[in-house]
Amino acid sequence: MPFIERLVGRISLAALLESIRLGEEMTQREFAAKLGVSKSHLCDIEKGRKLVSPERAARFAKELGYSSDQFVRLALQDAIDRAGLRYTVQVTAA
């Protein structure tokens, strides 16, 4: 993710999830089922109306076969950005 962010700027978890869904050529309904959420909830996430908790971000990463550290980092960064705080989140495994 750091490489992509250097190219295009800060990315949100919403944008990442939508990119993965589109890359896999899945509908919102199919992708939501894979993640274990409703289609409307996924739509709210993708449109930035709802944030994803770090716990749910880790679960999404596992369901999609990705490492959870970047998903968790993006979920935390999204919450900080929404709060209007000017911080950058870094996540390392314990």
Q: In this predicted model, what pLDDT tens digit does every residue of 29-51 receive, in sequence order?
A: 999 999 999 999 999 999 999 99
Number of CB atoms found within 10 A of residue 62's CB: 12
Q: In the chain, where are the structural domains located?
A: 2-82
CATH class of 2-82: mainly alpha
Report the candidate in 41, 35, 39, 38 with the shortest Cα–Cα distance to residue 57.
35
d(CA 35, CA 38): 9
Residues whose CB is less than 8 angstroms from the CB of residue 67 and which lie 6 or more positions away in sequence, other chains included: 61
Tokens of 4: 């992509």
Instruction: Name the more confident of 34 and 10.
Output: 34
pLDDT bin (cut points 50, 70, 90) of residue 7 is low
Q: pTM of the prediction?
A: 0.89
